[in-house]
Homo-oligomer: A and B are copies of this chain.
Amino acid sequence: MSISIISGSVTSPKGFLGAGVFCDVKRMGTGKGSNKGRKLDLGVIYSKAPCAAAGMFTTNQICAAPVKVCVDHLKIGKARALVVNSGNANACTGSKGREDAESMCRQTAKCLGIKTSEVFVASTGRIGLPLPMPNVRQGVEAACGQLTTESLGGDQLAEAIMTSDTHPKQYALEFNLGGKKVTIGGVAKGAGMIQPGMSPTGNRPYSMPLHATMLSFITTDAAISKPTLQRCLTEAVASTFNRITVDGDMSTNDTVLILANGLAGNQTIRHTAKDAISKASLALFQQALNLVCFALAKMLVKDGEGVSRFVTVRVAGAKTNQQADAAVRSVANSSLVKTSWLGGDPNWGRIIDALGYSDATVEENKVDIGYSAAGSSKILYSLKAGKPTRITFERLCRAVADPEFDLHVNLNLGKGKAVMYASDLTEEYVEFNKGDVTDPASLGG
């Protein structure tokens, strides 16, 4: 039952092909686009066999056209392919935007000889500009013409979806299911507008506002039923992508899609099966999918715009899990807390302040605050029951000097707990996002 991490990507599972091309989505050729250099900007993933598909989508009420098309196509049936562009989010583009997203699917289906409803679509980049469809059409044709099962295909796809990311993000692993080797591979992009809150339908399951464009596409050759795949993806995203924040802004385009083509030949995984072997298979697949999503989610935070610190914030002892979530998001999104992380400052005053204005019930004389090395349970407390401990300032400074550490809060009021994977707030973030108004096409969502 062991899982092995492999060097790979979305083309690692059997039967998946990938490609990425440059088609000038930002229209640099016209002199109207940004001058960030010739980076691949359109990609296609294709499966040789029909796939079960599942997705998680932004719960932002302002929801981009490609997200709406994905939600519709998910309802219809099997999936075979995905087309994605960077440089333009196709968000807030009205009925024209919707037609363009559908046209991307139609064009891709035509090139691949499959049905339009079997194609998923995603976009990331500037909000509010119509897609340059002649460029996109040329890109789709070129990408479909160079699809390959080689790692080059996955590498190109990973580059094509990047916006302000400084490097491509890929991850893959394999494991054994009843004698059959199953592989899961994934890519992701993030950088800014990162605090996803995604649901399977794009509708809100939350009673509180959540706040990236983040995109992630995952492929697997596992045989798994569609409803089981959606359950597994929902669970994996809830504990990974939906627990990250860079700047607290939730994007109009956040999308996670998984395609499972069954070519591994394992016995189909179904959550409804009650025998021990089926349950063990489901548990192993879930564990593997969680690992892929967590690895990619962590890469998103670490490569967030200007980010220098990766902090795992854990709140325990809240009255309810929902209160723990409110508390942990308040801390993880506080500008003052995030700047103190940048400065390597073990400031508990800003942390307890952020807890105090959250929606969680907090009693000053019960709050514990401490630090540990990443993943360690050996906590160095700066505050115990609301009182500063005798740990020296120098030792606390050393605890937050690492680029990666865990912050532990215990409200000591109940059993509610929650975690967020957060970044610091840096001058580079501000510098990057204040934009360059001499270059209109560089601005956007």
Contacts and interface: CB of A to CB of B under 8 A. Distances in A.
A230 interface: no
Contact of A427 (B210, B430, B435): B430
Describe A's contact surface by its main secondary structure: loop
A137 to B, nearest CB: 23
Contact of A435 (B193, B209, B345, B383): B345
B249 A209 contact: no
A430 B336 CA distance: 9
B434 A342 contact: yes
Contact of A430 (B60, B365, B425): B425
Contact of A211 (B61, B357, B445): B357
A320 to B, nearest CB: 15
A381 interface: no
Interface stretch (A71-79, A112-120, A348-356): A348-356
Nearest to A387: B94
A250 interface: yes
Given A343-B434, A343-B437, A435-B340, A62 B248 contact: no
Nearest to A357: B250
Interface residues of A, number: 74
A276 B146 CA distance: 84
A94 B386 contact: yes
A443 interface: yes
A443 B340 CA distance: 9
A226 interface: no
Residue among A345, A349, A388, A429 facing the most chain B CB atoms (10 A cut-off): A349
A66 to B, nearest CB: 14
Contacts of A330: 209
A326 interface: yes
Nearest to A96: B387
Interface string A184-206: 00000000110001000000000
Interface of A: 59-63, 89, 91-92, 94, 126-128, 192-193, 197, 208-211, 247-252, 326, 330, 334-336, 339-340, 342-345, 347-350, 352-359, 361-365, 383, 386-388, 393, 397, 425-427, 429-431, 433-437, 440, 443-445
